[in-house]
Structure 1
Amino acid sequence: MSEISLSQLQDADRDAATKAVEDAMDGDLDLPELTTAVRSLPASWVVEILDRLSSKRGAVLYRLLEKEQALEVFENLDPSLQGDLVGALQDDDVAALFADLDPDDRVELLDELPATVARRLLQGLPPQERALTADILGYPQGSIGRRMSPEFVAVRPEMTCAEALRRVSEHLDDAETVYTMPVTDAHRVLVGIVSLRDLMKAPVGTAVAEVMQRPLDVRATDDAEESARRCADLKLLALPVVDNENRVVGILTVDDALSILESADSEDQARIGGVEPLRRPYLTAPVTGLVRSRVVWLLVLAVGATLTVQVLEVFEATLEQVVTLALFVPLLIGTGGNTGNQAATTVTRALALGDVRPRDLGKVVFRELRVGLLLGILLGSLAFAVTGLIYGSDIGLVIGLTFVSLCTMAASVGGAMPLLARVVRADPAVFSNPFISTFVDAAGLLIYFGIAKAVLGI
C-alpha cells in the first residue's frame, strides 16, 4: 500500500501522489474517492501517472477527469500514448477529444494511428477544422509545416495600434498565441512582426508599420528541427511560417519549438548509445518494442566486429611470438572507440546547435587532430611509465606510441563523421557510432601491430 491515502493527494508531493494513484489502480478501486482525488491534481501530475500505466488502466483513470482537465492532460501526452488512449476509449469520447485539439496536435496524433482510424476521425470533424488539418497534412513528413499552427492573428501595417488590439481581442479564443503576430499586406505576404507589448505601449493612433520589426520567418517545407532551433536562437514567442511566395500559412510557437528540440535531442542521445528511440515512456513500451530498438544495432556492431577478428587473424603469428601483446588489445581498442565517440558526440552536439557546419570539416578535423594528439601524449606517457615498469621498456614504448597514434586517429575520424553524415543527408548520430566502432577497432589494431613489429623487430 502507498504511504498516503487518496484523500491526502492534494497535499502530497508529485512522487507520493503518483505512487498512491498507481497503488489504488492496482488494488480494489474506490472510484468515487479516486475521482475526487485525481481531479484535485495538476494536469502535469496526471500526465506523469498515465505515463506509467497500461493503456487499459490509463483509459479508466482518464475517464475520471473533468472535461477541461482531460483535454489539457491529453494535449500534454506523448503522441504515442495519445494513440494508445484513443484505442482504449469509446468512439464518442475520442471524437470529442479530437475536435477540441489544435490542428497541429491533431496531425501528430494522426501519425500514430492506423489509417482507418485516422480517416474516420478526420471525417467526423467540422468542415473548417477538417480543412485546417488537411492543410497541415499536405506538408512533407519532418517539415515544419507539419508542426505549425494555422490558427493565428495577422494584422496590417496600415492599421492603427488601437485597431490591431481590437482585432486581437476578437480572436483570443481561436488563436494559438497573440503575444507575437505576423504583419501582412493585402495578399497575406509577410512584411514584419509585432509584439502585443509594443501594440499596447504605443499611442492608440500609431500605425502598426511604425512599431513592427523586420520580418523573421521559416519556410513551411524547411526541416522541423532546424526551424525550431531558429525560433529558440531568436528567442521569439512565435515565428511566422511562410510558403514559397512568402505568404503566411501558420506560426511556430516557442512551446512547440522546444518540444521538437526535446524530441530531437532524445533521438540523438538514443542513437549515440546504439539504440533506436522508443518514442514513448519506458514503462509503457512493450518488451518487443525494447528488443526491436536494440537488436538492429547489436547486429550491425556484431557484423562490424568481424573485421576486428580478421585483423587479429592476420597478426596471429605476431601474437604467438609476443603473447604479452594480446593482453593490451581490449584496452587499446576500447580507448580508441571511446576517444572517437567523444569527438563524434561533441561535434554532433555542435552541429545541432549550429556552432559548426559541413563546410567547417577541415577546421574540425584539424582541431580534433590536435586534441587527439594531446590526449594521446598524456595517456601514452602514463602507459609507457606503468607498462615499462612491469613488462619492460620495449613493450612500454609500443603501448605508449600506440596510444599517441590511436587517439590522434580516433579523434580525427570521430570529429569528421558527423559532418560527413550531414553532407550525405544521413543522421549524424546514426552514421557516426557504428562506423567509429568498426573502423577505429580495426584500424587501431593495424596501428598497434605495425608499431609492435617495428619496435620489437618481429
Structure 2
Amino acid sequence: MSVDTLADLLGGEMTPAALQEAAQLAAGLSDGEIVGLVERLSAARACVLLQTLDERRALAVFEALDAAHQAVLVDTLGEDAATDLFVAMDPDDRVSLLDELSPDLAEHFLAQLDPRERGLTSLVLGSPRQSIGRRMSPEVVSVPVTDTVDQALGRVRLRLHDAETVYTLPVVDESGVLVGVLGLRRLLATAPETPVADVMRPAESGVVTEDAERTARRFLDRKLLGMPIVDADRRLVGIVTVDDALAITEEADSQDVARQGGTEALRRPYLSTAVGDLVRSRIVWLLVLAVSAALTVQVLEIFEATLTEVVVLALFIPLLTGTGGNTGNQAATTITRALALGDVTPRDISRVLLREARVGALLGAVLGSLAFLIAGVIYGPQIGLVIGLTLLSVCTIAATVGGAMPIIAQKLRADPAVFSNPFISTFTDATGLVVYFLIARAVLHL
C-alpha cells in the first residue's frame, strides 16, 4: 500500500513538504519495491524519487535498472548527481551504461574516475561487444597457489568491501594463470596451515572473448556461484557471478520472445518506454511481414481459376494456412530454445531435419485423417481427400522448415529468433497454398 501511496504522492506537486513525506515513505520500502516504482514512473518523477534516497540506496536502485533506463535518467538527473552515481558504480555496470551514452558524455564521465577505477573500467570496455568479458567484474579476489588457507582468508578479509564476490576464489600461479578454484565454505572448513593447492578443485572458466549468452548458459547449467574469466593465455582477468549470468540469459530470452512475435525487445520497462519507441519496435517488422505476405496474394491470383471452379476450396484456406504456420512455429520455437541451451548445434541439422519431418508427418497424418472424415461427410470424399492430403503435406513441410531455419540462421551468424515465427508463418502460408491447389487440381481433375 505504501508503494501506491508514494506513487500517488510523486504524481502531484513536489513541494518541500511533499518531498519530505516521499522520503519518509521511501525509507519504509525495500530496494526491490523502489526499483519497481522507478520503472513505472516518468524520468522526471523517477529522478525525484532517487534524490529522496540516501547515497547507498540510490546507487543500489540505480544499478538494478536496465542500462538503457539508466541512460534516460542520466539525462534528467543533472551532471553532478549523475557523475556521483557513475563514479560509485562497479566497473562492469559502468561499461553497460557507457554503451548507452553519447561518446562525448561517456568521455566526460570516464575523465571523472581516478586512475585505478579508470583502468578497471577500460579493461572491461576493451572486451568485444556481446562477449562475456563485457559483463565480467575485474574486481576479483585471487589466491596464489602457494598460500596456506590462513593466508587466503587474510586476503579475503582485506577485499571484503570492494570485491565482486568472495564465495568463489580463483587460484593462480606466480604468472597469474588460473590453476584452480576454491569455495569460501571449503576454505573456512579447512585447517589454517593447509596449503591451498591441497584443497582447490579444477576451475570451470570462460574466455574473455567468448559469447556472453553461451557462457552464461554454461555457467547456469553447471550450477555455479561464480566463474573465473581468463584471457587467451589463461591469465585471470575477472569473474562472472550468478546474478550476472541470470541477467544475460534474461536479456537474451526477452529478445528471442520479442522477435518470435515479430517485434524488437524493449530496452526499458514497458511503462517507462515512450510511445514512439514502442511504435519503432514494431513498425519495421510489420512492414517486412506485409511485403512477405504479398506472396500469398500472388499465389491466390495464380490459382484464381481453380477457386472459381470449386468455390468450396476457399473455405479451407484459413484452416490450412493457420495449421501450417502453427506447426512451423512450434518446430522453430523448440529448436531455437534447444540451440540456446546447447542441446542442439549446427552440426545436428541433418538429425533435426529427419526428426522434424517425422514429427510433421505424424501430426499431419492425425490431423489429415480427421479432416478427411469431417470434410468428406459434409462436402464429399474428394474434397475430404484434398484437405487430408494437404494437411499431411503442409505439416511435414512446415515442421521440417521450421526446424531447419533457426539452425541455418545460426550458421549465418544471425539471431535464430529472427527466422522464427513471423517469417515461417509467411513461408508456410505461400507454400501451403501452392501445395493445396496442386493437390486439388490432381484429385479433382481441374
- Normalised TM-score (structure 1): 0.95
Deviates most, 337-346 or 385-394: 385-394
**Structure 1, unpaired ranges of 5+:** 1-15
* C-alpha displacement of 1:205: 1.2
Partner of 1:310: 298
- The reply on whether 1:62 has 2:67 as its aligned counterpart is no
- The reply on whether 1:247 has 2:235 as its aligned counterpart is yes
Alignment counterpart, residue 345 of structure 1, candidates 309, 313, 333: 333
Is contact 1:103-1:136 (8 Å) kept? yes
**Secondary structure at the residue paired with 2:420?**
helix
Partner of 2:81: 93
Partner of 1:238: 226
Tell me which stretches of 4 or more aligned residues in structure 1 moved more than 4 Å: none
Deviations 1:160-208 (A, max 9, x none): 1111111111111111001001111111011111111111111111111
Q: Which amino acid aligns with 2:180?
A: G
Is contact 2:167-2:183 (8 Å) kept? yes
Is contact 2:141-2:169 (8 Å) kept? yes
Q: Give the number of aligned pairs.
A: 443
Cα distance in 1 for residues equivalent to 2:99 and 2:403: 35
- The reply on whether 1:208 has 2:196 as its aligned counterpart is yes
Q: Show the 5 A alignment for 1:273-352.
A: 273-352=261-340
* C-alpha displacement of 1:22: 1.9
Cα distance in 2 for residues equivalent to 1:416 and 1:449: 25
Deviations 1:291-343 (A, max 9, x none): 11111111111111111111111111111110111111121111101110111
* C-alpha displacement of 1:28: 4.2
Partner of 2:59: 71
Identity %: 58
- The reply on whether 1:433 has 2:421 as its aligned counterpart is yes
* C-alpha displacement of 1:434: 4.1
* C-alpha displacement of 1:211: 0.7
Q: Which amino acid aligns with 1:235?
A: K
Is contact 1:301-1:437 (8 Å) kept? no
Is contact 1:18-1:48 (8 Å) kept? no
Is contact 1:421-1:432 (8 Å) kept? no
Cα distance in 2 for residues equivalent to 1:425 and 1:118: 30
Is contact 2:3-2:29 (8 Å) kept? no
Partner of 1:17: 2
- The reply on whether 1:199 has 2:187 as its aligned counterpart is yes
Partner of 2:378: 390
Cα distance in 2 for residues equivalent to 1:54 and 1:425: 37
Partner of 1:8: none
- Normalised TM-score (structure 2): 0.97
Is contact 1:144-1:223 (8 Å) kept? yes
Partner of 1:376: 364
Alignment counterpart, residue 147 of structure 1, candidates 113, 135, 148: 135
Alignment counterpart, residue 431 of structure 2, candidates 415, 439, 443: 443
Aligned-residue CA RMSD (Å): 1.1
Alignment counterpart, residue 213 of structure 2, candidates 214, 225, 234: 225
Q: Which amino acid aligns with 2:8?
A: D
Is contact 2:11-2:45 (8 Å) kept? no
* C-alpha displacement of 1:437: 2.3
Alignment counterpart, residue 267 of structure 1, candidates 255, 259, 267: 255
Deviations 1:213-266 (A, max 9, x none): 112211100001011111111111111111111101111111101100011110
Cα distance in 2 for residues equivalent to 1:193 and 1:42: 34
* C-alpha displacement of 1:44: 0.5
**Secondary structure at the residue paired with 1:328?**
helix
